[in-house]
Every structure is written in C-alpha cells, then in structure tokens.
Amino acid sequence: MIKFTLNGKTIETDAPATVRLLDFIREEQLLIGTKEGCGEGECGACSVFVNNLLQNSCLIPIGSIEGADVVTIEGIMESEQFKNLDESYSHAGGVQCGYCIPGMVMASAALLSQNPHPSEAEIREGISGNLCRCTGYNMIVDAINLAAKKGDGLWQKK
Amino acid sequence: MNLKDISTSVPRKDHKGKVSGQLPYISDVKVENMVYGVLFRSPIAYGKIKSIQLPDLPEGYEAVGAEHIPGPNYVKIIKEDQPIFANEWVNYIGEPILMLVGENLDVLYRLLDEVKIEFEEHQAIYTLEEAIKQKSAPGVNMANYEFGESLDTITSIELKAHQIIEEEYDTGYQEHVYLEPQGMLAIYKEDEIVVQGSMQCLYYIKNALVNALDCGDDDVRVVQSPTGGGFGGKEEFPSMMACHVAVAAKAVKKSVMLVFDRSEDMVVTTKRHPAKLKYRTAIDREGNILSMCIEIFLDGGANVGLSSVVLQRALLNSAGVYKIPHFHAKGYVLKTNTVPNGAFRGFGAPQSFAGIESHIGHLSKLANNDPLEYKRKYLVKQGDPTITKGNFRDPILMEDMIEVLLKSSNYKKKKQKYHQLNQQNQRYKKGIGTSLFLHGCGFTGSGERDHIKAKVKLAKSKDDQVSLKISNSDMGQGILTTLSKIVAKELDLPLENVLYPYPDTKEVPDSGPTVASRTTMIVGKLLERAAKKLKAQWQTGVEQEVTEDYVHREMIPWNEKTFTGDAYPAYSWGVNIVEVEVDTLTGNIKLEKVFANYEVGKVIDDRVMKGQIDGGLAQGLAYGYLEKMTSKEGKIQQKSITDYGPPTSLDVVSIQSKVFDNPYADGPYGAKGAGELTLIGGAPAVQAAIEDALQIPFQQIPITPEVIIESLYVREGEQG
Amino acid sequence: MAEKIIAYRFDCLDQTLSQLNKENCAIIAGGTDVMVMYKSRRGVPPKIPKPIVFIDHLSELKKVYQNQKDLHIGACCTYSELLGNPLIPIVLKKAIKTIAAPAIRNRGTLGGNVCNASPAGDTLPLLYVYNAKLLLRSVKGDRIVPISDFIQGVRRIQRESNEILVEIILPSVLDDGAHVIFEKVGNRNADAIAKVGFAGYIRLNGDGIEDVRFAFGAVGPTMIRSVAIEKMLLGRTVPLTDSDIAQVVAAFDKIIKPIDDQRSTALYRKTVALNLLRYFLSMKQYQPT
C-alpha cells in the first residue's frame, strides 16, 4: 500500500510500485492536464510538483513517493498564481498547440516560486527541460517575465 | 468586433482550455467499450512475407490484418503504393503488417513480441546515393520533372563561359517533433465509424476511409481533436492510422485507440526528404551568372506518398528569389527502402532555398562581392517572369525589407568588426549571414480549382451566433482565432459570438486540407466573402446559412506536363540576418542574434504572426545546424528527442522581426500565406553566418559540430 | 494482469542493508536512469527484472560534510541539493548545471550518476580528476574504493549485491589551491547527453607543476585517465612549451579510442577531446578555483 497526497487529497493505492506516477495520474485519477510527450524525461510535458519541486512524472515510480505531496496542474488551477500565469501567457501569446503548456506552466510556477524576479537567462534555464516546438520559446519567456512583473508579491519566496 | 486594424491582436479562442490542460487531446479521451491497438511492424527493409504465425490470443484479444480490409489494401493519397497492412511485400523497417487489439497494453506488448513472421529478404536500397546509382532500375524513379531553357542553348553558353562552377549540396532529414505524438481513435457504432484524432486534413482521411472500408459517404465520419502540433507531420500520415483503427474497429466491433510512443513516432512517421542538389553554373570573367542547371534528387523513402508534389515545390523554388539567365532544372523522387518521407512545413522549398542560397553565396566569392550585394543584383522584380514562364505580377518589397534590416542589424559594420575580432580570438569566431526567400502561397498551379474545390459555410443560429463550418484544423497555428476574427470583423460581431467548433465531416463541407500556407489566404478569403453575403441578408433572430465556393483567379494557366505557367497565385517574402559564434575547439555554434523581415500581404493578428515567425525560425535555424537524423541500413538512428536534438529554450535567442504590409487582392484583408515562409530562411542564413565566421564553404546542412571539426581538420591538413 | 512487483522502502539504511544482504535487488535512488533503461512502451510500467529497493529518502545518504580537507557527499543528494550547498566546489556545480534540466536535477542523484556508470556520465570526469573515493557499506561493514577501480566498464561497477554506495569522498578538495576546469560538449544547450567531456586539474608551486590530472568522458567505455601521462608533466614550469604540450597530446592520442554512434563520430570525439586538452595545457596562467 502506497500513501501520498495528490492535489491535497490523500491517496492510498495498491498499484505496483513501478507504475509511473504519470500513468497513475492520468489513468487512475483521470487528470488529463499532465501530458505524455516522450516518456523519458526529455520533454517536460508531464511536469508535476513533488514536495514543491518540479519533476517529470514519467520518471517517477509510484513506490518512491510514499508520504510525498504531489501537485498537478489541476491542483494549482484555482490559485492566484495560476491566474497570473494564465493572463500572462495569454497576453504574451505563449500558447500555440498547447500540448507543452500545462508542463510549461508548472515549470514557470516552480521558477517564480524559487525566484520571483528572474532574469531572461534564468527564465530560459528554468524552462530548459520543457520542450516546445511551436513558439520558439520567446513568447513563453515574455509570458514568464510578464508574470513576474505583474505578479509582484504573489511569488514571494516562502 | 470593431478593430481599427485587423492586425490588432485578440486573445486566442482556445487559450483557457490549453493553459489549464483541460482541453482533451486524443490520448486524453476514453470511450465506452474501447480497446487499444498496437502495430506489428516489419523488422526488415525489403522482402516478401512467407508466413505469419500468431501467438495464442487470450479472450478479448484479436489480430487484424490485410484480410480484414473491406476495400482495396492501400491508403488513398495519390498513388496506390502504400498498403494499409503489408501482406505480401514489405518495403521498409517499421512498415505495419498487422495490428493486435485488446484491453491491456501490457498484454498487447507481450503478445507483439510473440508474433513470428518469416520473410524472404531481398537486397534493399538504403541510401539516396545508392538510389541515384540505380536510378534507371525498375521502380526506383518514383517521379520526375524537367523544365527550363533548352540544354542546347545552355551548352552553347557554357562553351563560351569563363568558368563552369559545379557544386553538390546535401540536406538531411528533419523530424517534426510535434509535442503531441500521433494518435487516432475509431469509435465503433452500428451504423457508422467515427474516426477522431490529431490531424491536419479531415477529408484526406475521410476519402482514405471510404476507400478502405468500401463504404458509403455517410458510413464514416472524421472529427478533429485538438491537435498538438502538426508542421506537415499530420498532413498525410494520419490517413494510414485512421485506416488502421477504422478497419480494426469494424473487425472487432469495438472502439479502437492507437497512440504512438515517442520513439515509435520518431522511427516510423514521415520526415522531411533528405535531398541532393547539383548546381552547374556558367560565369563570366567578373563572376556574373550566364546560365544555371540544377538537378534535384529527393529520397522518397519506401512509397511515393506526397513526394511528387514535394518535388514540384522544390523545383519551383530552385532558383530562389533570383532572376537567373538561361535556367534549366530537373528533379527526381527516388525510392529507398527507408521510412517514407512526406510533408513538412516548407514542403520541398527549405531544401531548395538552402541549396540555392549556399550556391549563390559561393558564387559571390568568385565575383569578389559581398554575398548580399551579389544576391541583390539578381533579385526578381515586379513584372519579371518566373522560372516557369509565369509572372511576378504583384509589388515586391524585398529591396525595402533588405534596407531596413541592414540598418536594424548594423550588418555592414558588424561584418567588418567580426573579421577583425576573429583575427584576435583563436578559439571563438563570429560571423553574420543573410538569406533571401519567398514562399508560393496555396496549392501549386490550378490545384485549388481542379482538385480541392474548397467550399465554406457559415451557419447563424437564432441567437445570432455564427459558426464557421470548414474542414480546417487548428494545430496550434491559431486559425481558430484568426479565421473567427475575419468573420467577426466582417459581421461586426463580438468575437465570442463567432464559433469555430472542432470540425466534423458530418457538419462541415470540404474547405480543403490545412496545408500549403493556404488556409488564411484561400479559406480566409472564402469566409470573408461568405460573411459579406450573410451580412447582406442578415435577419436577427433567424437561423441562416450561407456557403461560398472557391473562385479561380485566372493567370497564366499552369501546365504540369510542361511545367509552365503561374505556379502560385501569390508569393510571400522574407529576409533573415543571423549572427553566430563558433567555438573552433568543439565546433559548437551559438546563435547570437536573429533579425527577420517578412511580407505576407496583411497580418490578420500580430501576436499570432509573431508566434509563426519565432516558431518557424526556431525550426528553420535548427534545420541548418542543430537537428540531425540519420538512417543506417534502413533504421532511423535517433529514436529519442535528446538524440535528435530540437532546440531547447537555451538554444534560441530573441528574434527581432518586422512585417511589411503589401495587401493582396485575393486574400482576406489582403493576407497571404505565412506559416511555412518563416521556416525557410533559417537554415541558409545560419550557414552563411557560419561560413562568414570560419571562412570555409560548406556543402550541406545540417552543419553540425562534427561537420565543422572535420572541415577545420581538413583545412589544417591543407595548411600543413 | 501485471506480474507481482516486489519493492522495499525502509525507514533507515540498516534495514535496507539487511534486506540487500538477503536478496539481490535493483536499487533506485532518483530513478532518472533506471526508469529510462527499463522503460516499456507507452502506458506500461518499466520492466525491472529484480525486486526493487528505494533509497532516495534515506537521510543517512543525504549528508554533505567536511572532514579536514576532504569533502563527503551523500550518495542520494540530488543535483539540485548540491547546487544549493556552499561546500560543493564551483566547478562541480558547473558540471551539475549541464545535466539535463531542472526537473531531472530535482530528482537525479550524484550516487546515481556514479553507479549508472555511463561513459557519458556528466559528473564523472571531474570525480576522476578529484581522485574521488567511494564509501560502500554493507551489513559486513564499510570499504572505500577509488572511483577508477569501482567503475569497470559501460554500466559495470564493482558493487557487491549487498552493498550501497553511501558517500562520494573528494579528498583534499577544500582549500587545495588547484585550478580545475570542466567542459561538456553536447548537441544542444540543455537536455543533452555528452559527446565529449573533459576535466583538467592543475596545481602549481610557483611556476612549477606540483600535480596535474586529466579525465575524458564519452570517448571510451569509462573515463579515460592516465597517471603515467600526467607524471610526464610533474615539475615542468608553466606556460608549458609547445613540445611538452605536443608530447602529452600525442600520448593521449594513442589511448583515446572513441566510437561512432547516433550522437557523434569517433573522429569528432577524438579531435575535440584533444583540442580541449591542448587548450587547457596552453593556458598562460592558472588560478586556483
């Protein structure tokens, strides 16, 4: 039996320990915001937070997250921080096909919570594990920059 | 909607669902009674199937193959050479032979390992080089065209020329790496099969299904799911997957889902054609061009698919943006026993522009001229004939675009400065390079009139909302927004009162595929006209419907046999300037600055256009130096994203771009095509910049660090 | 349905070790390599052929401390934790920053990089020039092995099935006054697997070379290091003469034998490895890092 929290809810499961957290989220919990783009940790579409850290859910065997706090895009959707990113992405034109975007938003949130006023280089570094094939990244970088500016106070380091 | 200027950006209509991840792509969908399909693929490149031995299938698991196809066993595209399930010959590693369907993927993968097929292997052709050698062997030449000045005339010019310059140029594979892997679902119902998935061309799929299922028009229905990137990769390829799931659904009477793993997607789906381009140019004593002959060879892979059309575009762009005296070109699509190549943003043009820009750049050296100045001497002007005896009838703004870009980039000063810097810095060398390019918008020649015959419909509801009924896919490029905007502006409706539901062939007429930079220009124009019509007959509170059909603008008629006439109704244009720094110890290339000017008639939405510029350039630049895919004995070597290496956020720099207005009469608000154009200039500009930095000519893309180090090594050897 | 999976996740290292003493298990720390190595296709768990032991949560394996001039790094420290730790040498942080991307660095561990023993392991060239020693523990006790003995080939390590890598020890690394450099050559600027890795270490006494070490990654089955070649330079003064440099480069030219693969060519790897070496040797001056 593996016990952890997912978006604040306690989960107890007897799924085999090797089941990928990604599959558990999508297939068992039916949360579709976490996408699979490569299954090898090379694209970031499956990004989630584990104990507040950005991680690739495709590389996490569920047996290893006993007691952990897991948050998916669905878990932040109602937050002020998400609203800030949502508006900034819209304003900067950061979204095209959309498949990388939930992961990109998670990476953006992870970056801003660590570093509320990142430089352009730090933004590029922060999303460097999140592949996007449509935008060439610049409008996503603009979006995060905008979120940092407009979200002053929202992203204070805890 | 009351925008002073149509170009003013509006929020994307699909933003909310995408930013929250709650918009379901096909792999997010589950339906009742759904099973998965997995494909057994050929492990050999060329041979005959002798026997197929299936493992004992547990209850609920079934095998589906050629014998289950109600209609003929081919995927309808142009020729009948692509089997749905290979049942006699296999022509490439990865070719689908049969599908196993069942509830549990784990069980399916295990069963797949237990399928045993005996083959009689035959000698395969693995490389384009080999195919060129065997060009006249039966079946190798899959398509060819030739046009231009007579070879006699050219020979007589060459005899009097000062020098004949011959160059051979190679371009590699490019893989789309759309973030969403290919996926397709066939929903089984008693009276119809609904095929739903990630796609660009609903009616290509529908036609393929009607053919494969040998059924009536109403028996199949195709619905687009939100599509996570296409770039041409979801143009013709999804038709095959649609046939697989539909045949299987019919056979097992269940809904069947087929979603590719990334590595499967990288290994078996279509890619940009590797090409060899041969240039033979006569020049005079001053380095002026007297004549030019070009030969293009495309590696078609194992079946022709859309390759003949790709070759046409490659040939039509073979002279670049230049008026070349005495021009002759021919081209071939050759068969190799490798994964079939197909549509990719640019569709043959990127290979040609990389080649011609490289060649003209090298000629400029012989003329002791700056490459850009040399290119400008040959730049086509309004009223000039095209290489196919068509006409550039609309104004061409290239000179202005170049001048503005020279100023904003400070090109001349930088070029000098870098040459000085490079004398001092032994390890890092800086360079700056340019590319000039165009893109013919829409289908080649009379394709729109003769083949596509686009039709659009607007449906108004009682509450005065207007729906777009068209078969075009938003795959990220933003047409949900831009086409809705055209209609909203025309009808003076708020944007939210214009709806554009994901298209369903049951609801929408065939407005053509979402390809060839045609959607905004052709479909957008039809929608603009339909909206005008609806406005004229508008009755508040009443359901109304209007349709509009494509009207051909007669130009110089296109003749595919002689390759003469106006190949395209209109052209979009571009100029790129790229700066790089090359590390001579490692051959690594760092992009430093990118400048880009474009002319696309009229921009429908500034932000959407910028998205196309940045994304297209990122792909185009990477095609020139970063993305490398190779095939060895019929096997794609790079099976992961990392091994292939598309750019990350740390590989791209911010791009300074500007778009020039030059409204085109037959586009909505003057708009022409934009999506493919933005990719085309990237690779040639990056090559020119690398050459400027190292003062070494290159004859290929991608110019990887391996190519650079090898060239430096050779140069060192030559200098002792 | 899926076969039964046996997996252990104990609260402390001792229990983990006693289980390992009873049963040969696959050890998963961050899992970023294991999950890829045994990956199945989409939608299915990886097929790991042995019972699994998770260790990344064990606090005994997450300590970083100084013991005189030696630095002890817990094997299960993630890359991100090391990036945030002031004891970690800047050059090692630079190497860690070239690994994949933030999400992987939040999970992958230094011990994992060592035990995965990939020819392209990003931290390995530096660990080799630091003369890293590995502390292995089993129910029977501890042993310390030099990294160059521990890694024996491609993904082949000298770990007994009852042992766990507890610490990576970098001897005399603190205040040692050496100039250390690291270069990773990948196909792009993030999420890349090394095509060539190079670490150089030099310590001077005045102008004279007191100690010098080189290690090359991704150009052979394991890191290439040669104490014999390094010895040739001891006592020489910097800047080195052209002939000294040529001699060292020629010596490595003989022992570096890379391969062609989907990421690069043998010629490229070798040329670049030697280029980086030559560049390091040609520096006019060296500053302690």
> Does any domain span residue B588?
yes
Q: Are residues A89 and A138 in the same domain?
A: yes
Select from B214, B246, B268 the last residue of a domain: B268
Q: Is B630 in Cβ contact with C262 (below 8 Å)? A: yes
What H or E segment, with its residue span, contains residue C254? helix C242-255
Looking up residue A137, the CATH number of its domain turns out to be 1.10.150.120
**B211, B678 in Cβ contact below 8 A?**
no
Higher pLDDT, B554 or C138: C138
> Does any domain span residue B135?
no
pLDDT bucket at B720, cuts 50 / 70 / 90: low
Identify each DSSP E strand in C1-69 by its residue range: 7-8, 26-28, 52-54, 64-67
A111: which chain C residues are within 8 Å (Cβ-Cβ)? 102
Strand partners, C169: C72, C133
Q: Are residues A59 and A125 in the same domain?
A: no
Select from A76, A94, A116 the last residue of a domain: A76
Q: Are residues B653 and B566 in the same domain?
A: yes
Select from A76, A95, A118 the last residue of a domain: A76
Strands C208-217 and C196-205 turn out to be antiparallel
Q: Are residues B331 and B209 in the same domain?
A: no
Under DSSP, is residue B372 helix (H, G, I), strand (E, B) or coil?
helix
Q: Are residues A54 and A113 in the same domain?
A: no
Distinct helix (H) and strand (E) counts, chain A: 6, 5
Is residue B309 pLDDT above 60, yes or no? Answer: yes
Q: Is A33 in Cβ contact with B262 (below 8 Å)? A: no
- The 10s digit of each residue's pLDDT in B639-655 is 999 999 999 999 999 99
pLDDT at B600: 98
- The 10s digit of each residue's pLDDT in B433-486 is 999 999 999 998 888 999 999 999 999 999 999 999 999 999 999 999 999 999
Select from A51, A76, A101 the last residue of a domain: A76
Q: Are residues B345 and B395 in the same domain?
A: yes
Q: Are residues A21 and A69 in the same domain?
A: yes
Is residue C80 less than 8 Å (CB to CB) from chain A?
yes
Is residue C147 pLDDT above 80, yes or no? Answer: yes
Pick the closest to residue B469 from B506, B522, B515, B521 (CA basis).
B506
- The 10s digit of each residue's pLDDT in B211-268 is 999 999 999 999 999 999 999 999 999 999 999 999 999 999 999 999 999 999 999 9
> Does any domain span residue A158?
no
**B97, B83 in Cβ contact below 8 A?**
no
Q: Are residues B222 and B83 in the same domain?
A: yes
Q: Domain span at residue B94?
A: 31-119+176-268
Q: Domain span at residue A140?
A: 80-150
Measured over all CA atoms, what is the biggest interatomic distance in chain A, rounded to whole angstroms?
45
Q: How many domains is chain A built from?
A: 2
Of C7, C31, C80, the CB nearest to A60: C31
Strand partners, B583: B428
In the numeric block, the tokens 């400008």 are attached to B376
Let me know if domain C179-281 sits in CATH 3.90.1150.10.
Answer: no
Q: Are residues A67 and A124 in the same domain?
A: no
- The 10s digit of each residue's pLDDT in B341-383 is 999 999 999 999 999 999 999 999 999 999 999 999 999 999 9
pLDDT bucket at B614, cuts 50 / 70 / 90: very high
How much is the mean pLDDT over chain C? Answer: 96
Q: Are residues B305 and B409 in the same domain?
A: yes
Identify each DSSP E strand in B82-225 by its residue range: 89-90, 96-102, 116-121, 141-148, 163-171, 183-188, 193-197, 220-224
Q: Are residues A25 and A88 in the same domain?
A: no
Percent of chain B with pLDDT over 70: 100
Of C4, C42, C191, the CB nearest to A42: C191
> Does any domain span residue B102?
yes
B706: which chain C residues are within 8 Å (Cβ-Cβ)? 264-265, 267-268
Q: Are residues A16 and A71 in the same domain?
A: yes
Looking up residue B306, the CATH number of its domain turns out to be 3.30.365.10
Is residue B716 pLDDT above 90, yes or no? Answer: no
Q: Are residues A85 and A134 in the same domain?
A: yes
> Does any domain span residue B157?
no
**Residues with pLDDT less than 70, chain A:** 157-158
Interface B-C, measured as beta-carbon pairs within 8 A, has a size of 83
Q: Selecting from 3.40.630.30, 3.40.50.2300, 3.50.50.60, 3.30.465.10, what CATH number does the domain C7-170 have? A: 3.30.465.10
From B691's Cα to the closest Cα of chain C, the distance in A is 19
pLDDT at C154: 97
Q: Per-domain residue ranges for chain C? A: 7-170, 179-281
Of B261, B585, B650, the CB nearest to C190: B650
Looking up residue A38, the CATH number of its domain turns out to be 3.10.20.30
**B188, B222 in Cβ contact below 8 A?**
no
pLDDT at A157: 64
pLDDT at C255: 98
Q: How many domains is chain B built from?
A: 3
> Does any domain span residue A31?
yes
> Does any domain span residue A10?
yes
Strands B570-583 and B544-549 turn out to be unpaired
From A97's Cα to the closest Cα of chain B, the distance in A is 3
Q: Which of B27, B259, B706 to mutate to test the interface with C (most CBs of C within 10 A)?
A: B706
- The 10s digit of each residue's pLDDT in B36-58 is 999 999 999 999 999 999 999 99
How much is the mean pLDDT over chain B? Answer: 97
Token pair recorded at residue B28: 């997010």
Q: Is A127 in Cβ contact with B649 (below 8 Å)? A: yes
What does the CA dihedral A132, A133, A138, A144 come to, rounded to 10 degrees? -20
Q: Are residues B464 and B403 in the same domain?
A: no
Q: At what angle do helices B237-252 and B202-213 cross, to 10 degrees?
A: 40
Q: How far is CA C36 from CA A42, B321, C33, C47, in A?
A: 10, 47, 5, 10
Percent of chain C with pLDDT over 90: 96
User: Once rounded to an integer, what is the mean pLDDT over residues C176-203?
Assistant: 96
Is residue B317 less than 8 Å (CB to CB) from chain C?
no
Q: Is B27 in Cβ contact with A90 (below 8 Å)? A: no
What does the CA dihedral C28, C34, C38, C44 come to, rounded to 10 degrees? 70
> Does any domain span residue A40?
yes
Amino acid at C141: G
pTM of structure? 0.98
Q: Please identify among residues 90-149 of chain A the ones whose CB lies closer than 8 Å to any CB of chain B.
A: 90, 93, 95-102, 105, 120, 123-125, 127-141
> Does any domain span residue A155?
no
pLDDT bucket at C3, cuts 50 / 70 / 90: low
Is residue B516 pLDDT above 90, yes or no? Answer: yes
Q: Are residues B490 and B431 in the same domain?
A: no
pLDDT at C1: 41
Of A18, A59, A60, the CB nearest to C48: A18
Q: Are residues B464 and B432 in the same domain?
A: no
